[in-house]
């Protein structure tokens, strides 16, 4: 009796792959060459960017660019963004399963405040296909450059605003504190794209545990185009609830006190304050 070897050809070939890239913040100028080459070589490019300018630029690199924005709630519709994100991922997986090279081009850094990319990569790998992410220029990178701050000088902490409010985060007042998506502060339903003045005031009151109402803070918005200037609005913390915000507004809270030396550690290392200049 002759036993035939298993027919390996019956196993589906999985040549599809997903590459998530970042377009940077400023149109065309902040995207890496490797990311551009993937966009050019892709069978299909899915985009999740904030403006039509970027979509039109992507269309000059690839003939099949499909915006994922249509999966968000449309006019008058109430829709949980988690559902939108999964629909976006499902759309990409259809093409990956068809053994296509799929690129997802996302605004800024593809892995920063972008759960779509992380969901898509995880689900693509679970199906046995190849998936990876390339780094991009984030809004945080632009923030340090535009404000002329070296975050290494005193350190920094970074939180999504609503998460900062709902969980027991304690900021180090000797370091910079960055709160992202402050226009959504306190909005937990994932169905709205804005918050209320009352919720913003609750955030202000929460922050007064560590900062005075007179403490200077910055409302920051990175520029999307090279011809634009970033928004750098310096206000007092107590004025925050009355300031007009957008979905890309970020709050930077500078240190309220200088760094404090750890004298016990200095002794262990045999370092004096004089040694530190």
Please report where in the chains the tokens 């750890």 appear, as a residue: 262
Active site residue 72: no
Residue of 85, 199, 211, 220 marked active site: 85
66 has catalytic annotation: no
Residue 35 CB-density burial (10 A; 0-12 exposed, 13-18 middle, 19+ buried): buried
Q: Which of 66, 81, 97, 231 is the catalytic position?
A: 81
52 C-beta neighbours (distance < 10 Å), count: 10
C-alpha closest to that of 210 among 235, 237, 182: 237
Distance of CA 185 to the CA centre of its chain: 16
Give dist(CA 58, CA 40) in Å, integer: 9
- Cα separations (Å) of 182 from 210, 218, 233, 242, 253? 18, 12, 14, 13, 12
The single residue of 38, 71, 107, 220 carrying the catalytic annotation is 107
Active site residues: 81, 85, 107
């Amino acid at each position: 009796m002759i036993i035939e070897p298993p027919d390996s050809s019956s196993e589906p070939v999985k040549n599809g792959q997903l590459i998530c890239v970042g377009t940077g913040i400023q149109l065309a100028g902040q995207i890496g060459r490797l990311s551009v080459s993937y966009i050019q070589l892709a069978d299909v490019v899915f985009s999740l960017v904030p403006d039509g300018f970027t979509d039109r630029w992507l269309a000059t690199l690839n003939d099949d660019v499909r915006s994922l924005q249509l999966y968000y709630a449309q006019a008058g519709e109430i829709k949980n963004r988690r559902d939108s994100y999964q629909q976006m991922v499902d759309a990409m997986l259809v093409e990956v399963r068809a053994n296509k090279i799929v690129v997802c081009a996302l605004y800024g850094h593809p892995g920063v405040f972008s759960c779509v990319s992380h969901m898509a990569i995880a689900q693509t790998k679970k199906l046995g296909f190849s998936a990876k992410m390339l780094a991009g220029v984030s809004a945080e990178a632009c923030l340090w450059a535009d404000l002329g701050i070296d975050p290494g000088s005193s350190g920094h902490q970074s939180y999504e605003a609503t998460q900062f409010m709902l969980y027991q985060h304690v900021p180090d007042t000797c370091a910079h504190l960055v709160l992202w998506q402050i226009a959504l502060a306190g909005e937990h339903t994932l169905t709205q794209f804005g918050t209320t003045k009352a919720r913003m005031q609750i955030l202000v009151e929460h922050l007064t545990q560590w900062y005075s109402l007179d403490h200077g803070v910055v409302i920051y918005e990175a520029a999307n185009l090279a011809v634009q200037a970033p928004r750098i609005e310096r206000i007092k913390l107590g004025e925050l609830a009355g300031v007009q915000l957008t979905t890309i507004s970020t709050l930077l809270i500078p240190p309220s006190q200088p760094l404090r030396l750890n004298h016990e550690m200095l002794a262990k290392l045999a370092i004096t304050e004089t040694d530190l200049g």
